[in-house]
Amino acid sequence: MTFGERVRDLRKAKNLSQRELAERIGVNFTYLSKIENGKLDFASFPSEETIRKLAQALDADEDELLLMAKKIPADIRDRVIEKPNAFRTLAKLDDAKLEEIIRQIEEDQDGDGRKGKEAKK
């Protein structure tokens, strides 16, 4: 599914016309049509600001829409900047090894963020 198709699906699920959604996010409905059809003239995707407005208006996951538009959410971008070597190392792993590491991390943590035995006390 493309970014535009996802926006269209979300809009239709909210029973909004392109004109209604465009008005809510402050763009022209023809621009919204171009987003949904992947026909933007000057870029592959709309700006981060427009994506955030779309997410809010559609009660959608902002991070999901940003990632579909090949934009990195700010919290992830900030963390990569803080620890570039860690992310560089992770990026070099094959999918199986990366999934194994993620599974281990998830097993070590519970809902309050504490690790291992400390979390079970």
Each residue's pLDDT tens digit, 29-75: 999 999 999 999 878 899 999 999 999 999 999 999 999 999 999 89
Confidence of residue 119 (pLDDT cuts 50, 70, 90): very low
Cα 95 to its chain centre, rounded Å, is 20
Would you state the pLDDT for residue 110? Answer: 63
Distances (CA, A) of 57 to 23, 34, 71, 106: 10, 18, 19, 32
Token pair of 63 as six digits: 């991070």
pTM for the structure as a whole? 0.72
The third-level CATH classification (topology) of the domain covering 3-72 is 434 Repressor (Amino-terminal Domain) (1.10.260)
CA distance 68 to 63: 8
12-29 average pLDDT score: 97
Per-domain residue ranges for the chain? 3-72, 83-120
Distances (CA, A) of 28 to 24, 40, 43, 93, 99: 10, 13, 16, 44, 42
